[in-house]
Structure 1
Amino acid sequence: MNISANKMPTSGYNQKKWKGRYTILLLLWSGWLLSFLDRMVMNVSLPFIGSELGLDKTVQGSIISAFFIGYALFQIPGGYLSDKFGPRKVMAFAIIWWSIFTFFTGLIYWLPLMLLVRFLFGAGEGCFPASSWKVIATYFPPHERGRATAIQSSVNTLGPAISVVVAVTIIEWLGWREVFVILSVPGLILGLLIYRYIRNHPAENRLISADELHLLEADQKNDKKNIEMQTRSFSLLAVLKMPILWKLSLIWFLFDITFWGFTTWLPSYLLEARGLSLSKTGIWAAIPFLFGALGTLVGGYFADKFQQKLKYLYGITALLSGAFLFLMYQVENLNAAIVFQCISALFMFIAFAIFWGMLMHLIPTAIMGKASSVVNFGGQVAGVVSPFIIGFLIDNASGGYHHAFLFMVLSLIGSAVLTFFIQKITL
């Protein structure tokens, strides 16, 4: 990176000053929040869509799976394009694309067309994650990447929490279709903002100060692994041949079986198995994700603080989450169930942030787009199969949720156990 004379720092590095990279992170955070709002309102809308279109739980699950098929298939292409052409255009196009199909979702009256629209919606969102991680790896020094990723990932908790409240409010006021029409508007605006204010390289971005560029340049000189990667030609095929990425992808697949099952079916569980009203469901389904937001920030701190022990921290927190999820559906008392689901969410999202912080420390910036997309692909395959399998388990238990939650618990335990058997986490 060449720094022109007018870009050289003229004073000491001010740790307290608002940095340009924080603005970049805010835009990324907004994109992730919107992506979760757009996809999670479907979970709240499912019972109403099922009632209007005459769909059982298995078919309702297929609507969620259609999104994840598109989302999974475009993970790796999105990562490849981000490494080859830069993340700026990929992110802007992705947000505008999925916002258009969010709008179309509210207009559908025919199941096959609904499945197609949700697939195309997922294809747009699938290009976004790897490009955002590429931006963090490019704009943030290594010692801040775990926390930056955790802050960005906090929308995995805030998104479901906010979406429940937003969806319930609009459904009660206008109807389920209007939720999707209204949420399409901010996406179009955000896509244009990202295109305007994010550049592929920090040196080209007026938001980034001379001090920040100096810090990034110093870190790059000390990052021997990344320098080596930049001097070698790493094709997509070469990245796909890295065994560690597929091991981590399997761990993430099992984790996301539980994550997507929990976020997809929790509103329906509270409505149907616990007998809550729609308004109370909006409150009690949101609260666990607020605990999850705290867990994400804690996990991000751990990811930067304990870099050599992250696989053990991930395994322990994932096991604890599974234990409290088991207790949640076993107890008869509603208040106890709410407490257990909150504790489960807390540990689940600590594990979530630790996992991605671990990847941000392992993967060199030069291949971040392709490598992170391979790992995230595993999670999105889970998103394809999890809602469908859980819907099937609910239907075949006469509407009961015990088998579905046991499936989620076992998947989370499997993810934790596999982590302990990774002998060497290196690329």
Structure 2
Amino acid sequence: MSAPPPSAVRTRRTVRITIVLLFAAWLVDYADRLVINLVLPSIGEEFDLGRGQQGLVVSAFFLAYALCQIPGGLLADRYGAQRVTCWALLSWSVFTALTGFAWSFVVLLVLRFAFGAAEGIFPPASMKVLVERTTPEERMGANGLIMSSNALAAVITPLAVAPLIAAFGWRSAFFSTAALGVFVLVAVRMWLPAPLAGSADRETAAVRNGLRPMLREGVLWRFALMLFGYSTIMWGLTTWIPSYLNDERGIPLASAGALVAIPALASALATVVGGRLVDRLGGHHRKIVVPAMTVAAIALPLMSYSASLTGFVVFATVAACAASLAYMPIFAVPLRGLDSRHIGVGSAVIVLGGQIGGMVAPPVMGVLADVFSFQVAFAFLVLGAVIVAVTSLVTPQDADSFRAALRAAHHHSDPSSLTTEQK
């Protein structure tokens, strides 16, 4: 049996190193976000904040994060994905460290907003880094491995940070995660491979000319709406489960962190499985999304009104696992169908929907918990599952139909482009 050609060996090496580095970057990115959920009870006590105000601390991040998605895509398309990724890592690490020095509610809001802006340019740049260094056939499997870092961070962060908070106070958690960000920045800067041959961007004029049609296409916003529903569920759970266990069940923060790790681990595994499944299906995300979100919609009310702690954790795990199965399928068709020149902006539009979900869910749930109960707040998340399932039925199911939908929408809004494209 002959050895693989050197080009194939280089390609596999490029893919492996890219996956490892992006996995590490996303792990720190998500851990930095999750720290705030673990310290909310301490911050609320120190600054005398109600649950609605605590939810605003989380939302300040997501507001800036959402606003910077499309600018981040533009920066990545124009200045290069690796460069923008490094900018993001450096700036969010700085603002994470500064959060540890916050002395008032207003200062905390400002720092969380700045932190969100810094992290907001990262997702489209990261997506472009991956697309430039993988082939279409392996892209979703690779992205599934990378994005499983989010759920793994939800496992590791409470286990590592809760004891740190108990020993040194809530501010120490931000200093520690900022140091990790600097370490990953150095690794990405030194070891990220060059893009694969043939993946280089075309002139920036093409990017500028393609921006307006890209933002105008309703098909992209439908995928964004799916991610909005998904993020409503996941950020609603990750934001308020630690506080619920601490306030309502009387469980110490360190023990609550260990319990939160159970559904988070299930989510990590489900994210990888979802990426593998949608690769085998060649898209066709509704075959995964509809059954998964049906299970989540059933599990969430059972979790909300479970009388026992065991029942709460079991149903929370089922809900998180089912929702996470749908995460990679939401991205599968757009990443296969988008032109490489527009992958930064296109993916940013979709991620924007997810960040709006993360911005809306925490304060809404905080108000519901204050006015009614945590049970009502968690039951509210069923709405997210319904949005994802219904929207999956009205989105293109493979790359060809996705591209056809983009062309049809573009020709409808600009009939003169039809002749140009035909030529």
TM-score (norm 2): 0.88
1:116-172 deviation line (CA, Å, top 9, x unaligned): 000000000000000111111111111111111111110221111111112201011
Q: In the TM superposition, what is the alpha-carbon distance from 1:230 to its structure 2 partner?
A: 11
Q: In the TM superposition, what is the alpha-carbon distance from 1:88 to its structure 2 partner?
A: 1.1
Which of 273, 277, 292 does residue 248 from structure 2 map onto? Answer: 273
DSSP 3-state at the match of 1:154? helix
Match of 1:361 in 2: 336
1:217-243 deviation line (CA, Å, top 9, x unaligned): 5xx7xxxxx99x998974321210111
Q: In the TM superposition, what is the alpha-carbon distance from 1:41 to its structure 2 partner?
A: 0.7
Query: Is residue 70 of structure 1 aligned with residue 34 of structure 2?
Result: no
Query: Is residue 325 of structure 1 aligned with residue 300 of structure 2?
Result: yes
Query: Is residue 293 of structure 1 aligned with residue 293 of structure 2?
Result: no
Which shifted more, 268-277 or 400-409?
Answer: 268-277
Identify unmatched segments of 5+ residues in structure 1: 1-8, 204-212, 221-225
Alpha carbons of structure 1 residues 232 and 179: separation in structure 2 relative to 1, 3 Å: closer
- Between the two proteins, the alignment pairs up a number of residues equal to 395
Root-mean-square deviation (Å) = 2.3
Which shifted more, 101-110 or 416-425?
Answer: 416-425
Match of 2:376 in 1: 403
Which structure 1 residue ranges, 4+ long, deviate > 4 Å from structure 2?
9-15, 229-234
DSSP 3-state at the match of 1:285? helix
Task: Give the counterpart letter for 1:266 in structure 2.
Answer: I
Which shifted more, 309-318 or 129-138?
Answer: 309-318
Q: In the TM superposition, what is the alpha-carbon distance from 1:366 to its structure 2 partner?
A: 2.1
Match of 2:366 in 1: 391
Task: Give the counterpart letter for 1:412 in structure 2.
Answer: A
Q: Structure 2 matches for 1:149-164, cutoff 5 A?
A: 149-164=143-158
Q: What is the CA–CA distance in structure 2 between the aligned matches of 1:413 and 1:231, rounded to whole Å?
A: 38
Which shifted more, 190-199 or 344-353?
Answer: 190-199
Contact 1:63/1:118 (CA < 8 Å) preserved in 2?
Answer: yes
Which of 217, 225, 249 does residue 242 from structure 1 map onto? Answer: 217
Match of 1:257 in 2: 232
Task: Give the counterpart letter for 1:392 in structure 2.
Answer: V
Match of 2:395 in 1: 422
Q: What is the CA–CA distance in structure 2 between the aligned matches of 1:423 and 1:40, rounded to whole Å?
A: 33
Match of 1:352 in 2: 327
Contact 1:270/1:285 (CA < 8 Å) preserved in 2?
Answer: no
Contact 1:393/1:403 (CA < 8 Å) preserved in 2?
Answer: yes
Q: What is the CA–CA distance in structure 1 between the aligned matches of 2:307 and 2:162, rounded to whole Å?
A: 26
Match of 2:421 in 1: none
Match of 2:258 in 1: 283
Q: In the TM superposition, what is the alpha-carbon distance from 1:403 to its structure 2 partner?
A: 1.5
Q: What is the CA–CA distance in structure 1 between the aligned matches of 2:110 and 2:162, rounded to whole Å?
A: 25
1:210-266 deviation line (CA, Å, top 9, x unaligned): xxx5xxx5xx7xxxxx99x99897432121011101111112112211111111111
Q: What is the CA–CA distance in structure 1 between the aligned matches of 2:9 and 2:32, rounded to whole Å?
A: 38
Q: What is the CA–CA distance in structure 2 between the aligned matches of 1:136 and 1:402, rounded to whole Å?
A: 40
Q: In the TM superposition, what is the alpha-carbon distance from 1:21 to its structure 2 partner?
A: 1.9
Which shifted more, 181-190 or 166-175?
Answer: 181-190
Alpha carbons of structure 1 residues 110 and 419: separation in structure 2 relative to 1, 3 Å: same
Q: Structure 2 matches for 1:53-202, cutoff 5 A?
A: 53-198=47-192, 201-202=194-195
Q: What is the CA–CA distance in structure 1 between the aligned matches of 2:51 and 2:319, rounded to whole Å?
A: 25
Task: Give the counterpart letter for 2:195 in structure 1.
Answer: P
Alpha carbons of structure 1 residues 379 and 334: separation in structure 2 relative to 1, 3 Å: same
DSSP 3-state at the match of 2:395? coil
1:153-196 deviation line (CA, Å, top 9, x unaligned): 10221111111112201011111111111221121222232223
Task: Give the counterpart letter for 1:426 in structure 2.
Answer: F
Alpha carbons of structure 1 residues 179 and 423: separation in structure 2 relative to 1, 3 Å: closer
DSSP 3-state at the match of 2:285? helix
Q: In the TM superposition, what is the alpha-carbon distance from 1:20 to its structure 2 partner?
A: 2.3
Identify unmatched segments of 5+ residues in structure 2: 404-423
Task: Give the counterpart letter for 1:92 in structure 2.
Answer: C
Identity %: 32
Which of 47, 51, 65 does residue 45 from structure 2 map onto? Answer: 51
Q: In the TM superposition, what is the alpha-carbon distance from 1:358 to its structure 2 partner?
A: 3.3
Which of 327, 334, 344 does residue 309 from structure 2 map onto? Answer: 334
Task: Give the counterpart letter for 1:403 in structure 2.
Answer: V
Alpha carbons of structure 1 residues 146 and 109: separation in structure 2 relative to 1, 3 Å: same
DSSP 3-state at the match of 1:270? helix
